[in-house]
Amino acid sequence: MRTFSIFIIISSLAAFGCTENPFADDKRSITNDGTFVSGQVLLDNESDHSGVYVWIRGPGYNTRTDKNGMFKLQIPKEGVQPGAAFSGQFTVYFYLSNFTTDSLHLTFLKGALLLPQTDVDSRGNLKKVIKLSSIFSITTEVIPKIVTINDEDSLFNEETNEWEFLNNLDTVKIKTTYQFTSVDYLSYQLYIPSDGLGNPMISLIIRTEDNSVERIQNLNFQRWEVFYPNRNEKKVFKFTFPVTSKSIVFPSTDIPPGEYEFRPVIAIVNTRLPASLLQSLCPGILHLQPGESFMNIPVKQKTTYFTVKSLN
């Protein structure tokens, strides 16, 4: 089974610093020598809480939550860390691109988490559950849900009795709806791939069930266009995607049989977050043509899967 995705991106521009550790003594727990912090992140109105990016600004150590929202962020021991061991107060972020972002401060001494402290108990567990709420919904619909391809199809058109240069034999119609549900619109900017003339172009990155990219489909992408969204504002895009495409000059681009999902490529810039957060996921994000690296951006969307079957 395979799964397609179209996806979203949220960029950040603010900065944050660290201060010297105010603690003079090392008070690490017997059950945790300061090498990990664990906890839970829950998403409002979601049954699957996986994929939230947990990231410590500065050292850059990170992990992601599982389906139940649980995470365990490992911190290498002092001799294993690159460079000098770090000490001071650093910010850990809990990030999902189309949800609110939360953060808290952790204090380290000589590269190890100091335990206990304000938000962490003596075992390295967060004292509270982190809760994130949706700010931006993405819904994707695909018609038809099943595409049956004929491997023996050719470029010869029997109706005109002529050979065709290009033939998109099988297609699916895709409708993607974006809506800001609850957001301080002054803090956000929406970037959408454009053809350079101000016309939004949906650029697709398609991944299979094992998270490998099946196809990158850029429809005349030239640059990112910026929009300033209003609360409850909807943007709807419709386009046709060729499941099979044959050409006299170019190789065939048939999608192999399997199940797929699309994810739209857009970018939501939150000006209240440090730019280094998104850069840690996808360096140079808004300076790049949408590509495979965008798969690193965590996002939740409602989608319709479609299946490709072979007639032969």
| 192 contacts 200 by C-beta, under 8 angstroms | yes
171, β-bridge pairs: 242
Amino acid letter, residue 124? G
Residue with tokens 């590269």: 111
Strand partners, 76: none
Ranges 105-109, 114-118, 200-204, 278-282: which has the least confidence: 200-204
- pLDDT the model gives residue 189: 80
Contact 80, 280 (CB under 8 A): no
Taking the CB of residue 20, how many other CB atoms lie within 10 A of it?
A: 9
3-class state of residue 279 by DSSP? helix
Give the type of residue at 142: V
Segment 48-92, tens digit of pLDDT:
999 999 999 999 999 999 999 999 999 988 777 776 678 999 999
pLDDT in tens, 157-216: 566 665 454 455 678 888 888 888 876 666 888 888 888 776 777 777 777 677 777 777
Q: Which residues have a Cβ under 8 Å from the Cβ of 49 and sit 6 or more positions away?
A: 40, 41, 42, 43, 65, 66, 67, 68, 69
CB 53, CB 130: distance < 8 Å: no
Class of domain 16-132 (CATH, top level): mainly beta
Query: Please, where in the chain does CATH 2.60.40.1120 lie?
Result: 16-132
DSSP state of 287: G
pLDDT digits (tens, 9 = 90+) for 259-279: 888 888 888 888 889 999 989
DSSP per residue over 181-239, as a string? -S--GGGEEEEEEE-SSS-B---EEEE-TTS-EEEEE-SS--EEEEE---TT-EEEEEE
* pTM (2 d.p.): 0.82
Q: Is the dihedral of CA 24, 71, 35, 60 positive or negative?
A: negative
Count of CA atoms in the C-beta half-sphere (13 A) of 185: 10
Q: Look at the block and give the residue holding tokens 């065709």.
A: 164
